């Protein structure tokens, strides 16, 4: 007989109680793991995406909310609302380059793909695109695609692509950029506007300024000339982080509440167990068990709840992150939380943190009950009816 064996035997005596207590911790740890694995590298990811956009200012229709502003970065479908007249007014300002975007969606083989209508030449210069295969031709009959799209759907130059019932020739494939640009089908702006029936409107305008110190003035000038709103890339990041922060705080609250509830579950379970085993504790004491021995027997039992609950919680949390991530990604509000680079399944740091936290909480929860057990007087325990 060893102490470990004794603790294990005690732990699993009441199977259902054991199960539900473990379940309690597992839920807490699972939500923690989900939070941690969805949250890793979040801020860096947001910054990267705003850099990819390559603009210092983004011109949007008036009255866009933060969620819509974020979509500029995530490539979600946007309401088209800036008429050509405004685009021209913005473009005519000296010292800035205005790049209009019309963001739409289509499907290839039933999978949603982003379609962006652009002005071919300005965009190419602005983004510094290189052509991998074929030629860079965007007009009424031809289009180009990003590198990853071509790879994912096994597209070759010369292929026919049907968008909204119109057939296009795939004239070129862009060189890999290593960002979201690789995941887009590019159409000529006017063609796209006709195809999607949006008149002469665009979704937003990315603006690059020549003199970065005068961003404020440019921003004002744009808003004076055209009936639009302007956000800087810094503001954009800020509003993204604010939303992400809210989501994260909510998740953290849920995790905290779940873990707290689990801790009370352990305390409850242990106090009940001690009450039931009063006589056994008395016998252990009569046999020479010291207070310290009794204390640690019960503390280890609590700690084991933490270990078992932690393992189950980790598995559940990873499973959830794994299966839920694609769905989270589809929602534009949480696109950042779930974008592929931010979900790290089986991250060692996450495993370590979650296990440590689980065992720590279980031990803390176990201290009071174990202390109570160790304080029992042997006689009281034995004469207990």
* Smallest separation (angstroms) from other proteins to the CB of 278: 10
Instruction: Rule CB under 8 A: say whether 4 interacts with other proteins.
Output: no
Cα separation, 323 vs 315, in Å, equals 12
Instruction: Rule CB under 8 A: say whether 15 interacts with other proteins.
Output: no
Among 203, 285, 302, 329, binds other proteins (CB under 8 A): 285
Among 85, 253, 261, 286, binds other proteins (CB under 8 A): 286
Instruction: Rule CB under 8 A: say whether 275 interacts with other proteins.
Output: no
Q: Which is nearer to other proteins, 14 or 175 (CB)?
A: 14
Q: Where are the alpha helices (DSSP H) in the chain?
A: 3-11, 15-39, 42-53, 66-74, 84-91, 120-127, 147-152, 189-195, 215-225, 233-276, 278-286, 291-330, 335-338, 348-375, 378-382
Cβ neighbour number for residue 88 with a 10 Å cutoff: 13
Cα separation, 210 vs 236, in Å, equals 20
Q: Which is nearer to other proteins, 190 or 272 (CB)?
A: 272
Phi and psi torsions of 131, nearest 5°: -100, 130
* Smallest separation (angstroms) from other proteins to the CB of 293: 7
Instruction: Rule CB under 8 A: say whether 296 interacts with other proteins.
Output: no
Instruction: Rule CB under 8 A: say whether 287 interacts with other proteins.
Output: yes
* Smallest separation (angstroms) from other proteins to the CB of 341: 50
Cα separation, 370 vs 302, in Å, equals 9
Cα separation, 164 vs 105, in Å, equals 10
Among 284, 303, 359, 370, binds other proteins (CB under 8 A): 284
| Alpha-carbon distance values, 64 to 115, 198, 203, 308 (Å) | 21, 18, 11, 48
Distance of CA 182 to the CA centre of its chain: 20
The answer for 203, left when phi > 0, alpha when psi is -120 to 50, beta otherwise, is alpha
Instruction: Rule CB under 8 A: say whether 16 interacts with other proteins.
Output: no
Rg of the chain on CA atoms, in Å: 30
Instruction: Rule CB under 8 A: say whether 44 interacts with other proteins.
Output: no
Among 199, 279, 345, 368, binds other proteins (CB under 8 A): 279
Among 66, 307, 363, 382, binds other proteins (CB under 8 A): 382
Q: Which is nearer to other proteins, 9 or 151 (CB)?
A: 9
Q: Which is nearer to other proteins, 156 or 279 (CB)?
A: 279
Cα separation, 186 vs 120, in Å, equals 9
Q: Which is nearer to other proteins, 13 or 151 (CB)?
A: 13
x-marked contacts with other proteins along 231-270 as a string, rule CB under 8 A = ----------------------------------------
Instruction: Rule CB under 8 A: say whether 1 interacts with other proteins.
Output: yes
Element housing 166 (H / E): strand 166-174
Among 271, 280, 371, 372, binds other proteins (CB under 8 A): 280
Instruction: Rule CB under 8 A: say whether 292 interacts with other proteins.
Output: yes
Instruction: Rule CB under 8 A: say whether 378 interacts with other proteins.
Output: yes
Among 289, 315, 322, 364, binds other proteins (CB under 8 A): 289
Cβ neighbour number for residue 276 with a 10 Å cutoff: 11
Instruction: Rule CB under 8 A: say whether 379 interacts with other proteins.
Output: yes
Instruction: Rule CB under 8 A: say whether 164 interacts with other proteins.
Output: no
Contact 283, 373 (CB under 8 A): no
Element housing 156 (H / E): none
Contacts with other proteins, residue ranges (CB under 8 A)? 1-3, 6, 9-10, 13, 279-280, 283-293, 377-379, 382-383
């Amino acid at each position: 007989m060893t102490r470990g064996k004794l603790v294990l035997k005690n732990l699993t005596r009441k199977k259902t109680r054991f199960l539900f207590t473990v379940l309690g911790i597992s839920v807490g740890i699972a939500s923690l793991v989900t939070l941690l694995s969805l949250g890793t590298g979040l801020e860096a990811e947001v910054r990267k995406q705003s850099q990819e956009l390559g603009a210092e200012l983004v011109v949007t229709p008036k009255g866009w909310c933060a969620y819509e502003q974020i979509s500029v970065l995530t490539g979600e479908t946007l309401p088209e609302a800036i008429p050509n007249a405004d685009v021209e007014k913005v473009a005519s300002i000296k010292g800035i380059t205005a790049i209009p975007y019309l963001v739409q969606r289509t499907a290839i083989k039933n999978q949603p793909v982003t379609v962006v209508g652009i002005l071919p030449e300005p965009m190419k210069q602005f983004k510094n695109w290189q052509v991998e295969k074929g030629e860079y031709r965007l007009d009424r009959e031809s289009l180009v695609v990003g590198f990853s799209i071509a790879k994912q759907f096994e597209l070759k130059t010369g292929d026919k692509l049907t968008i909204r019932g119109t057939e296009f020739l795939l004239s070129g494939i862009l060189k890999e950029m290593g960002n979201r640009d690789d995941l887009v089908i590019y159409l000529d702006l006017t063609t796209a506007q006709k195809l999607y029936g949006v008149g002469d409107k665009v979704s937003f305008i990315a603006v690059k300024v020549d003199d970065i110190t005068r961003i404020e003035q440019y921003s004002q000038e744009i808003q004076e000339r055209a009936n639009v709103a302007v956000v800087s890339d810094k503001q954009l990041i800020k509003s993204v982080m604010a939303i992400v922060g809210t989501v994260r705080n909510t998740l953290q609250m849920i995790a905290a509440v779940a873990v707290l509830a689990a801790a009370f579950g352990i305390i409850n379970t242990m106090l009940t167990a001690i009450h039931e085993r009063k006589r056994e504790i008395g016998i252990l004491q009569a046999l020479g068990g010291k207070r310290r021995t009794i204390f640690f027997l019960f503390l280890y039992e609590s700690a084991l709840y933490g270990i078992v609950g932690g393992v189950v919680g980790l598995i559940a949390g990873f499973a959830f992150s794994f299966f839920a991530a694609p769905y989270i990604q589809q929602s534009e509000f949480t696109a950042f939380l779930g974008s592929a680079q931010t979900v790290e399944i089986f991250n060692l740091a996450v495993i370590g943190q979650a296990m440590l936290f689980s065992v720590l909480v279980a031990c803390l929860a176990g201290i009071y009950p174990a202390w109570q057990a160790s304080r029992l007087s042997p006689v009281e325990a034995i004469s207990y009816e």
